[in-house]
């Protein structure tokens, strides 16, 4: 992989994604430079989560280029028949792009510690003792070191989401992908998770964040992309997008009560 510091961790060019006849992404570009936070905002159905899922190859795209640290994803087939050509490449890239989902996705039959350790031990074949030490470190980082032996069902939503973030961190990825990480939470629990995300941003981690929380996007982002019906309507630094939106669509979106 290209390790040059100025090579973006993720670079996407002219990405198109359809579900059958429905085109969800209509030629989108995205660059996530090392150490930067890129936020994706827009109404439901604008293509934000789909774009994020295309980033780590959970979804196949029909056209366009995806590069991870300068290395292009290799494809076979065309259009709706296009798929990654090299499963080993996909696995390698995906293990370096840890995703945090809206609904936590913790294994209910494993303790919090086991959840955090699972992928590094089983997928990446790391030494369990080393992984356990790291997992405990990351649980402490997100403020739930005391929940290591608890079951997911015993935790609040905010604690479960923080466990999911610790699990993502334990993969020691090149970038973190967040898909609406606070939208399933009550407002007071939301704040616990926002605090963790802000701390990660302050550490200079590369992140792509899909969020409905405009304050969070304004606070943590280096770059904000506003998607509308599968296209980039407007993008730039948060001070510009939130302080001086250029398009009527973005002005309307922001004034419609996105918080």
Q: What is the pLDDT of residues 80-105, one digit of tens each?
A: 999 999 999 999 999 999 999 988 89
Helix (H, G, I), strand (E, B) or coil at 26: strand
Q: Which backbone phi and psi does 84 adopt, to 5 degrees?
A: -60, 140
Contacts for 78 with CB less than 8 Å, ≥ 6 apart: 62
Which of 74, 59, 52, 61 minimizes the C-alpha distance to 26? 61
Q: What is the pLDDT of residues 8-43, one digit of tens each?
A: 999 999 999 999 899 999 999 999 999 999 999 999
Helix (H, G, I), strand (E, B) or coil at 133: helix
| Ramachandran class of 241: left when φ > 0, alpha when ψ lies in -120 to 50, beta otherwise | alpha
Q: How confident is the model at residue 257 (pLDDT cuts 50, 70, 90)?
A: low
Alpha helices in the chain (DSSP H): 48-55, 87-95, 112-122, 128-141, 157-170, 187-202, 214-220, 238-243, 248-255
- Number of helices (H) and strands (E), helices first, in the chain? 9, 12
Distance (Å, whole) CA 188 – CA 192: 7
Residue 193, Cβ neighbours under 10 Å: how many?
Answer: 25
Q: How confident is the model at residue 4 (pLDDT cuts 50, 70, 90)?
A: low
Q: What is the pLDDT of residues 156-214, one digit of tens each?
A: 999 999 999 999 999 999 999 999 999 889 988 999 999 999 999 999 999 999 999 99
- Enumerate the domain spans of the chain: 103-177
Q: What mean pLDDT is predicted for residues 105-123? A: 96
- Mean pLDDT score of the chain: 94
Q: Which two tokens stand for residue 229?
A: 């019906």
State the pLDDT at residue 259.
43
Q: Which backbone phi and psi does 218 adopt, to 5 degrees?
A: -65, -35
Which pTM value belongs to this model?
Answer: 0.93
State the pLDDT at residue 184.
86
Residue 62: half-sphere exposure toward Cβ, Cα within 13 Å: 15
Residue 232, classified by CB atoms within 10 Å of its CB into exposed (0-12), middle (13-18) or buried (19+), is buried
Distance (Å, whole) CA 81 – CA 99: 25
């Amino acid at each position: 992989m290209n390790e040059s510091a100025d090579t973006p961790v993720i670079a996407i060019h002219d990405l198109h994604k359809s579900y059958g006849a429905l085109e969800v992404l209509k030629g989108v570009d995205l660059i996530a430079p090392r150490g930067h936070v890129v936020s994706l905002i827009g109404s439901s159905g604008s293509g934000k989560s789909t774009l994020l899922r295309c980033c780590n190859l959970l979804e196949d795209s029909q056209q366009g280029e995806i590069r991870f640290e300068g290395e292009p994803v290799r494809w076979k087939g065309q259009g709706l028949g296009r798929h990654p050509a090299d499963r080993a490449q996909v696995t390698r890239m995906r293990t370096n792009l840890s995703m945090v989902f809206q609904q936590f996705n913790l294994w209910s039959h494993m303790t919090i510690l086991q959840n955090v350790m699972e992928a590094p031990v089983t997928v990446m074949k790391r030494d369990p003792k080393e992984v356990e030490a790291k997992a405990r470190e990351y649980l402490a980082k997100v403020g739930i070191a005391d929940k290591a032996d608890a079951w997911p069902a015993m935790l609040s939503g905010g604690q479960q989401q923080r466990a999911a973030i610790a699990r993502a961190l334990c993969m020691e990825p090149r970038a973190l992908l967040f898909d609406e990480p606070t939208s399933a939470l009550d407002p007071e629990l939301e704040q616990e998770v926002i605090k963790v995300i802000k701390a990660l941003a302050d550490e200079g981690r590369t992140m792509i964040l899909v969020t409905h929380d405009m304050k969070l996007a304004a606070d943590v982002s280096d770059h904000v992309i506003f998607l509308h019906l599968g296209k980039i309507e407007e993008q730039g630094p948060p001070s510009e997008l939130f302080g001086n939106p250029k398009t009527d669509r973005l002005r309307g979106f922001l004034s419609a009560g996105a918080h």
